[in-house]
Chains A and B, each alone.
Chain A
Amino acid sequence: MITKEQVEHVAKLARLELTNEEKELYTKQLSKILDYIDQLNEVNTKGVEPMTQPIPTVNVMREDIVKKQFERSEMLKNAPHEEYGFFRVPKIGE
Chain B
Amino acid sequence: MTAIKSKTEYETVIGLEVHAQLKTKTKIFCSCPVDFGAEPNTNVCPVCLGMPGVLPVLNRQVVAYAIKTGLALNCTVTKHCKFDRKQYFYPDLPKNYQISQYDQPICENGYLEVSGKRIEIQRIHMEEDAGKLVHAGSDRLHGSDYSLVDYNRTGTPLIEIVSMPDIRSAEEAKEYAQLLRSILRYLDVCDGNLEEGSMRCDVNVSIRPIGSTTFGTRCEIKNVNSFKSLIRATESEVERQKEIIESGGRIIQETRLFEENSGKTVSMRSKEEAHDYRYFPEPDLVPLEISAQWINEIKETIPELPNQKKLRYPKDYGLNSEEAKVLIEDRNLAEFYEAVIRLGANAKKAANWLIGPVTAYMKEHKTDILNCCMTPKQLADLLGFIEKGAINDNIAKTEILEELLGQGTDSEEIIKQKGLAQITDTSALKEAVKEVLESNPTQLKDLKEGKEKIRGFFVGQVMKKTGGKASPQIVNALIDELIK
Chain A interface residues toward B at CB < 8 A: 9, 13-15, 52-53, 55, 57-70, 72, 75-76, 78, 81, 83-93
Interface residues as binary, B27-39 with A (CB distance below 8 Å gives 1, 0 otherwise): 0000111000001
Chain A residue nearest in CB terms to B280: A52
Of B46, B57, B63, B149, chain A has the most CB atoms within 10 Å of the CB of: B149
CA distance A65 to B27 in the complex (A): 10
B31 surroundings in chain A (CB, below 8 A): 62, 65-68
Contact across chains for A72 and B41 when beta carbons are under 8 A apart: yes
CA distance A20 to B61 in the complex (A): 51
CA distance A85 to B90 in the complex (A): 19
CA distance A9 to B273 in the complex (A): 10
Contact across chains for B149 and A87 when beta carbons are under 8 A apart: yes
What's the nearest-Cβ distance from chain B to residue A10, in Å? Answer: 9
Q: Is the interface of A mostly helix, strand, loop or mixed?
A: loop
Contact across chains for A64 and B26 when beta carbons are under 8 A apart: yes
B448 CB–A CB distance under 8 Å: no
What's the nearest-Cβ distance from chain B to residue A81, in Å? Answer: 8
A52-B287, A53-B287, A89-B148 are known contacts; what are 8 more A-B pairs with Cβ within 8 Å?
A58-B287, A62-B60, A63-B61, A65-B26, A67-B26, A87-B91, A91-B147, A92-B147
CA distance A15 to B41 in the complex (A): 26
Question: A66-B33, A69-B32 known; A84 and B146 CB under 8 Å?
Answer: no
Question: A52-B287, A68-B31, A86-B134 known; A92 and B90 CB under 8 Å?
Answer: yes
List the 4 shortest-distance A-B pairs measured between CB atoms, nearest first. Answer: A86-B148, A67-B31, A52-B281, A64-B61
Select A63's contact among B60, B82, B133, B286, beta carbons within 8 Å: B60
CA distance A63 to B46 in the complex (A): 19
Of B43, B145, B289, chain A has the most CB atoms within 10 Å of the CB of: B43
Interface size counted on chain B using CB atoms at 8 A: 51
CA distance A72 to B443 in the complex (A): 80
Contact across chains for B147 and A89 when beta carbons are under 8 A apart: yes
CA distance A11 to B45 in the complex (A): 30
CA distance A86 to B40 in the complex (A): 6
Contact across chains for B289 and A59 when beta carbons are under 8 A apart: yes
Chain A residue nearest in CB terms to B87: A13
19 contacts between A and B (CB under 8 A): A53-B283, A53-B287, A61-B59, A62-B59, A62-B60, A64-B24, A64-B26, A67-B26, A68-B31, A68-B45, A70-B44, A85-B39, A85-B40, A86-B150, A87-B149, A90-B145, A91-B135, A92-B90, A92-B135
What's the nearest-Cβ distance from chain B to residue A89, in Å? Answer: 4
What's the nearest-Cβ distance from chain B to residue A5, in Å? Answer: 13
What's the nearest-Cβ distance from chain A to residue B338, in Å? Answer: 30
Interface residues as binary, B118-162 with A (CB distance below 8 Å gives 1, 0 otherwise): 000000000000000111100000001111111100000000000
Contact across chains for A89 and B91 when beta carbons are under 8 A apart: yes
Contact across chains for A84 and B60 when beta carbons are under 8 A apart: no
Chain A residue nearest in CB terms to B57: A62
A-contacting residues, B279-296, CB 8 Å: 281, 283, 285-289
Contact across chains for B286 and A58 when beta carbons are under 8 A apart: yes
B151 surroundings in chain A (CB, below 8 A): 87
B42 CB–A CB distance under 8 Å: yes
Chain A residue nearest in CB terms to B63: A61
CA distance A72 to B39 in the complex (A): 10
A-contacting residues, B48-102, CB 8 Å: 49, 51, 57-63, 82, 87-91
B5 CB–A CB distance under 8 Å: no
Select B133's contact among A62, A64, A92, beta carbons within 8 Å: A92
What's the nearest-Cβ distance from chain A to residue B99, in Å? Answer: 14
What's the nearest-Cβ distance from chain A to residue B321, in Å? Answer: 38
B9 CB–A CB distance under 8 Å: no
What's the nearest-Cβ distance from chain B to residue A69, in Å? Answer: 7
B25 CB–A CB distance under 8 Å: yes
Contact across chains for B45 and A15 when beta carbons are under 8 A apart: no
Contact across chains for A15 and B39 when beta carbons are under 8 A apart: no
Contact across chains for B26 and A66 when beta carbons are under 8 A apart: yes
Contact across chains for A15 and B89 when beta carbons are under 8 A apart: yes
Chain B residue nearest in CB terms to A68: B31
A58 surroundings in chain B (CB, below 8 A): 286-289
Select B148's contact among A57, A65, A69, A88, beta carbons within 8 Å: A88
Contact across chains for A69 and B33 when beta carbons are under 8 A apart: yes
Question: A53-B286, A53-B287 known; A86 and B33 CB under 8 Å?
Answer: no
Chain A residue nearest in CB terms to B44: A75
Chain A residue nearest in CB terms to B40: A85
Select A89's contact among B63, B146, B288, beta carbons within 8 Å: B146
CA distance A15 to B150 in the complex (A): 22
